[in-house]
């Protein structure tokens, strides 16, 4: 009779993981990498186009090189647009596929059903894996892990009956995984581990008939034995590919490493030891999981390092003393220790001390060690078998419930960052929590959170720049500059800080200084469209129209949708619809970009420029812009705007007359290039006060 148990187990795994991650259907994007990876990234949000695919393969955007991950996001946008639910569901589908694949691969390697099922269930349901699944930006985790597991399965097929064709399928799967995320650089060593057990290919492997393994010679799959020389030689091409991937990754993440260059080797080693032990604690007791754990300063307390080191040494001693009887313990433990190496912090990227997502692959080793620590029970020991099954079921139900609960926190920014502040309070967490209040126009609460964040970590660029933005957007320009300069002193080559300084100087009319800052920002992050547009706008003010046009062309190439976004932002500053944005000089600077970079000119962008000029007490220039908008509307047949534009022209003409300006009634030639409009926004003699903050 056909054995239907694997099918039933696979269906059970699918249903359990679907239930655990049911909340993802109600999850939105979050303001934590999702803008960079998806909805504010024009190379992704515009879908799977030829130009976007070229960009995916040639860009180090977001300090990463993972072209297939970018293409996956692009495909989602092509199919679903920016509907967050579908993006989340795709993540969950990849996770389900990895869960079932892990069960089938372990079953193929060991000839067992229930232990592989337990490993797969723990992998699919453990709450430490929620971050990798419920966060759209972590598509790279679920993709690369699927291909990592596929590589294991293909290697098992190769090891059973080696052939060159099968070997190349292993290489191809491994390359695809690396192109999704370089986390797989340790995979050649993982393959060596499974050569020892469960494949039992190497000379030191345990006997397949060892009762401690739960195997009885005939039921355990047979794989082709080989000497150490051949086993190492088989992994050499994979190792070379891994080294190439690691080199590209270091090059891509060079910018992201800068904020942590001051951390000593001793600090990094200590943090690594603590992180290894903390991940184990969270595996056993996953009740304080958060989206971000920030390292605290440059010194670690000695006590947690010593306690963590002692725990790791004792566990290692137990494993190595018993590895001959239980080789799965050794393989699982070394799997855990080894696959965490790329993300344990020895090469620090960013300011996090650890992250739940880093355990996505490593915990498979711990789950293998746990599953194969359960002794094999004879058929006659029915009571013990039932008790073991009951304990496992309760454990998995608890994991399912905790995963469901943890996924709920990823539904929106407010829930996510409230939880972070609650269980793992940090400067970064406070700033993101403050950003939630800021976007809701709850300014007092937002400022409070930013200031708490700065007190917690006085060198926090995030806190300093957010407090600077907070002041700038409300016209407190000198206070904003003070915060930006403190940030610049900490990170003089940070493009975000230099760009913010440039905008502050531009709002003050200090255009030469603004030009210096924007050029520096462009050198540091040449692929960010807003840096290029900012540079173009300031070159326009300085009268370098050819340089401005060159910058605008590059900006339009990088992000053709940026001008619409920046016009909408300028409208917010003009309209006073939100309390947090109330600084007319910023409205003018943004409107200049939207208008002067347009090719061809757009009526609504010129109209926004007219509003911004009027707000900045420049009625003559506002009138010129309003007339040009009206003439453009006639030329382009936008009759629906004519009435509104006529009202604007009358209002600005009246305002100009009251200011004693000379109003010329000559018609505007709409065929003139947009560069001539820039003359209207340059400071004029009668508007000497125009560039001062109101």
195, pLDDT greater than 60 = yes
**Residue 219 has what pLDDT?**
66
> Looking at residues 243-250, what average pLDDT do you find?
94
Q: Both ends of the chain: CA-CA distance in Å?
A: 85
pLDDT digits (tens, 9 = 90+) for 382-425: 888 889 999 999 999 999 999 999 999 999 999 999 999 999 99
475 is written with which tokens? 């016209």
- Alpha helix positions (H), 81-186: 84-110, 114-125, 130-134, 139-160, 164-180
- In this prediction, what percent of the chain has a pLDDT beyond 90? 66
In the 8-state DSSP scheme, what is residue 288? S
Confidence (pTM) = 0.89
For residues 460 and 366, the model is more confident at 366
In a domain, 438, yes or no: no
355, pLDDT greater than 70 = yes
For residues 332 and 296, the model is more confident at 332
In the 8-state DSSP scheme, what is residue 214? T
433, pLDDT greater than 70 = yes
In a domain, 341, yes or no: yes
Band of the pLDDT at 658, cuts 50, 70, 90?
Answer: confident
CA 227 – CA 406 distance, rounded (Å): 46
Q: CA angle at residue 230 from 227 to 234, to 5 degrees?
A: 140
**Residue 670 has what pLDDT?**
42
In a domain, 534, yes or no: no
Distance of CA 496 to the CA centre of its chain: 17
687, pLDDT greater than 50 = no
> Looking at residues 582-596, what average pLDDT do you find?
90
**Residue 689 has what pLDDT?**
37
In the 8-state DSSP scheme, what is residue 561? T
**Residue 209 has what pLDDT?**
53
**Residue 661 has what pLDDT?**
42
**Residue 582 has what pLDDT?**
81
In a domain, 547, yes or no: no
In a domain, 445, yes or no: no
For residues 482 and 663, the model is more confident at 482
- In this prediction, what percent of the chain has a pLDDT beyond 70? 91
150 is written with which tokens? 């596929």
For residues 245 and 213, the model is more confident at 245
Choosing from 388, 409, 430, the residue where a domain stops is 409
In a domain, 276, yes or no: no
Domain count, the chain: 2
- With beta carbons less than 8 A apart as the criterion, state whether 143 and 357 touch: no
**Residue 377 has what pLDDT?**
77
Q: What is the 3-state secondary structure (H, E, C) of 492-549?
A: CCCHHHHHHHHHHHHHHCCHHHHHHHHHHHHHHCCCCHHHHHHHHHHHHHCCCHHHHH
Band of the pLDDT at 210, cuts 50, 70, 90?
Answer: low
674, pLDDT greater than 60 = no
In a domain, 503, yes or no: no
CA 194 – CA 80 distance, rounded (Å): 40
Nearest to 220 by CA among 93, 110, 86, 360: 110
CA 592 – CA 353 distance, rounded (Å): 42
pLDDT digits (tens, 9 = 90+) for 140-172: 999 999 999 999 999 999 999 999 999 999 999
**Residue 448 has what pLDDT?**
95
Choosing from 409, 425, 447, the residue where a domain stops is 409
Beta bridge partner(s), residue 354: 293
Band of the pLDDT at 216, cuts 50, 70, 90?
Answer: very low
569, pLDDT greater than 60 = yes
- With beta carbons less than 8 A apart as the criterion, state whether 178 and 242 touch: yes
167 is written with which tokens? 């070997």
253 is written with which tokens? 């993440």
Band of the pLDDT at 128, cuts 50, 70, 90?
Answer: very high
Distance of CA 651 to the CA centre of its chain: 47
**Residue 350 has what pLDDT?**
72
**Residue 526 has what pLDDT?**
76
178 is written with which tokens? 């690396």
**Residue 525 has what pLDDT?**
82
In a domain, 442, yes or no: no
- Tell me which of 104-118, 162-176, 228-242, 552-566 is least confident: 552-566
CA 636 – CA 620 distance, rounded (Å): 24
Q: What is the DSSP string of 229-261?
A: HHHHHHHHHHHHHHHHHHHHHHHHTHHHHGGGT
575's CB contacts (< 8 A; 6+ apart) are none
The boundaries of the domain holding residue 120 are: 5-253+284-409
> Looking at residues 268-287, what average pLDDT do you find?
95
Nearest to 560 by CA among 137, 52, 64: 52
- Give residue for tokens 């995320």: 181
Q: CA angle at residue 692 from 616 to 521, to 5 degrees?
A: 95
pLDDT, the chain, mean = 88
Choosing from 365, 381, 409, the residue where a domain stops is 409
666, pLDDT greater than 50 = no
């Amino acid at each position: 009779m056909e054995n239907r148990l694997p099918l039933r187990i696979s269906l059970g795994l699918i249903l359990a993981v679907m239930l655990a991650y049911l909340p993802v259907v109600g999850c939105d994007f979050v303001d934590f990498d999702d803008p960079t990876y998806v909805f504010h990234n024009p190379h992704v949000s515009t879908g799977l186009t030829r130009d976007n695919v070229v960009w995916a393969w040639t860009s180090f955007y977001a300090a990463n090189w993972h072209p297939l991950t970018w293409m996956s996001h692009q495909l989602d946008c092509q199919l679903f647009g920016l509907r967050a639910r579908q993006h989340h569901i795709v993540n969950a589908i990849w996770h389900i596929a990895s869960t079932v694949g892990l069960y089938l691969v372990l079953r193929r390697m060991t000839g067992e059903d229930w232990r592989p099922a337990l490993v797969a269930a723990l992998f699919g349901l453990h709450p430490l894996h929620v971050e990798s699944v419920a966060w759209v930006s972590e598509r790279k985790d679920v993709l690369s892990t699927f291909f990592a597991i596929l590589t294991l399965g293909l290697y098992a097929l190769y090891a059973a009956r080696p052939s060159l064709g099968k070997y190349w399928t292993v290489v191809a799967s491994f390359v695809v995984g690396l192109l999704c995320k370089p986390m797989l650089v340790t995979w050649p060593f993982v393959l060596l581990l499974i050569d020892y057990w469960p494949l039992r290919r190497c000379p030191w492997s345990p006997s397949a008939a060892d009762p401690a393994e739960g195997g009885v010679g005939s039921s355990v799959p047979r794989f082709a034995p080989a000497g150490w020389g051949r086993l190492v030689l088989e992994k050499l091409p994979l190792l070379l590919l891994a080294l190439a991937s690691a080199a590209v990754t270091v090059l891509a993440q060079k910018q992201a490493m800068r904020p942590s260059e001051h951390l000593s080797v001793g600090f990094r080693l200590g943090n690594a030891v603590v992180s290894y032990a903390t991940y184990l604690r969270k595996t056993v007791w996953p009740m304080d999981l958060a989206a971000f754990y920030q390292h605290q300063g440059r010194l670690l307390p000695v006590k947690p390092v010593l306690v963590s080191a002692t725990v790791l040494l004792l566990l290692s001693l137990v494993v190595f003393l018993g590895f001959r009887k239980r080789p799965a313990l050794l393989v699982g433990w070394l799997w855990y220790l080894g696959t965490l190496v790329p993300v344990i912090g020895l090469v620090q990227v960013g300011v996090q001390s650890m992250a739940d997502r880093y355990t996505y692959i490593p915990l498979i080793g711990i789950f293998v060690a746990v599953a194969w620590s359960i002794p094999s029970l004879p058929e006659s020991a029915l009571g013990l078998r039932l008790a073991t099954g009951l304990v496992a079921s309760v454990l998995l139900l608890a994991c399912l419930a905790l995963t469901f609960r943890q996924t709920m926190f990823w539904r929106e920014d407010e829930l996510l960052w409230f939880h972070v502040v609650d269980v793992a309070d940090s400067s970064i967490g406070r700033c993101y929590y403050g950003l939630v209040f800021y976007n809701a126009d709850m300014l007092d609460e937002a400022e409070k959170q930013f200031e708490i964040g700065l007190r917690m970590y006085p060198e926090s660029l995030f806190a300093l720049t957010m407090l600077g933005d907070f002041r700038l957007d409300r016209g407190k320009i000198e206070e904003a500059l003070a915060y930006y300069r403190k940030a610049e002193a900490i990170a003089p080559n940070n493009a975000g800080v230099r760009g913010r300084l440039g905008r502050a100087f531009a709002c003050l009319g200090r255009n030469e200084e603004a030009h210096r800052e924007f050029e520096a920002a462009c050198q540091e992050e040449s692929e960010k469209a807003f840096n290029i547009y900012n540079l173009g706008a300031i070159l326009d003010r300085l009268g370098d129209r050819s340089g401005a046009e060159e910058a605008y062309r590059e900006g339009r190439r990088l992000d053709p949708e940026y001008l619409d976004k920046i016009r909408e932002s300028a409208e917010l500053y003009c309209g006073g619809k939100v309390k947090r944005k109330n600084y007319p000089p910023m409205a003018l600077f943004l409107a200049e970009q939207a208008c002067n970079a347009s090719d061809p000119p757009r009526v609504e962008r010129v109209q926004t420029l007219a509003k911004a000029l009027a707000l900045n007490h420049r009625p003559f220039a506002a009138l010129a812009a309003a007339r040009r908008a009206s003439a453009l509307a006639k030329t382009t047949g936008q009759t629906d705007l004519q009435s509104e534009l006529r009202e604007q022209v009358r209002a600005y003409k009246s305002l100009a007359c009251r200011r004693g300006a000379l109003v010329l009634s000559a018609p505007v030639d709409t065929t003139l290039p947009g560069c001539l409009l820039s003359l209207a926004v340059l400071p004029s003699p009668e508007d000497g006060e125009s560039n001062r903050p109101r």
